[in-house]
Amino acid sequence: MGQLRDRMEADLLLAGYSPSTRRIYVGYARLFAKHFRRSPAEMGETEIRQYLLHMVEGQKASHETYRQIRAALSFLYTITLKRPTEVAYLPVRRTRRKLPIILSGTEVQRLLDAIRSPKYRVIGMVQYAAGLRISEACRLQPQDIDSKRMVIHVRNGKGGRDRYTVLSARLLEYLRDYFRRFRSRPWLFPGETVEGHASPHTFRRVFRDAVTHAGIAKRITPHTLRHSFATHLLESGVDIAVIQVLLGHASLRATQIYVHVTVEHIGRVTSPLDLLGTPAAVPLG
């Protein structure tokens, strides 16, 4: 793409997109050009629709992948190429929302125990104890741990938003022990990324090995620890609006999925069959 790529990268930077989002958007624009072996400037709505169909039918792209490709090409044509009509009527793909897989407390403990590296074990603890995304956990700095107020400062989360989340007393003990041993700065968890912090990709590999060693048959990812954090809080009675803030969700709708997976809450519901013949039974009319 050459100069067009440079212009798109500059536009994304000016628009305030995060480094990871900029990389994803430019990458999908490059793959679009590579597919047709032409510059996007020479193409339009017809090629965009053909490419999206190819990704859905031929490549079996997930809903998330489709959403990112659509967003990347929409930005390219609307902002960088100044041709918004080319993407004005791209369909928004509907999806069947699957309930997240949740680990029990026992499974979380087995999983964390199976992570042999002290650094990656603490990263996993941070995800479960504070509900962080893997990228957020890997980018933590020592000053983000506020032991006086017992909160963790999450910087530049999804959508570029900062937030605070809970700092577990037990996690604080592990973090202090870890920091005494490694004295890592400026990143709490140094690693091989360009910025110098731990790599989410490496943690995913470590996580897969730990799942195997822990004997957990569920198909899970590091994000499962964040799902489990939210669900376990809801089951323990924490208000869903508070959980929304801790997770950094822009809307309550994103958090409400956890209402559907709280087995503890479901188990407390009394079936109307059990009320038949009692004063609490609903009149049949």
Domain chopping of the chain, boundaries: 3-87, 105-267
| Cα 60 from Cα 49, distance rounded (Å) | 15
Q: Residue 93 has what pLDDT? A: 81
Nearest-angstrom CA–CA distance, 141 and 212: 30
Contact 152, 164 (CB under 8 A): yes
The catalytically annotated residue of 119, 121, 133, 232 is 133
Assign domain 105-267 to its CATH superfamily.
Answer: Intergrase catalytic core (1.10.443.10)
Structure tokens at 154: 């999450």
Q: Is 253 an annotated catalytic residue?
A: no
223, 253, 260, 268: which is the annotated catalytic residue? Answer: 223
Decide if 218 is catalytic: no
Q: What are phi and psi of 187, to 5 degrees?
A: -95, 140
User: Quick one: DSSP state of residue 154?
Assistant: E
pLDDT at 28: 96
Is 258 among the residues known to form the active site?
yes
Tell me the pLDDT tens digit for each residue of 127-139.
999 999 999 999 9
| Structure tokens, 110 | 């087995």
Catalytic residue among 139, 227, 232, 249: 249
Active-site position among 158, 163, 213, 265: 158
Contact, 159 vs 204, CB < 8 A?
no
Which of 19, 31, 9 has the alpha carbon at shortest distance from 75? 9
What per-residue confidence (pLDDT) applies to 157?
Answer: 81
Print burial letters for 102-132: b (CB count within 10 Å at least 16), e (below 16): bbeeebbebbbebbeeebbbbbbbbbbbbbb
Show the low-confidence residues of the chain (pLDDT under 50): none
CATH fourth-level superfamily of 3-87? Tyrosine recombinase, N-terminal domain (1.10.150.130)
The Cα–Cα gap between 201 and 33 comes to 27
The catalytic position among 70, 121, 226, 232 is: 226
Q: Is-catalytic flag, 226? A: yes
Dist. CA 247–CA 215, nearest whole Å = 28
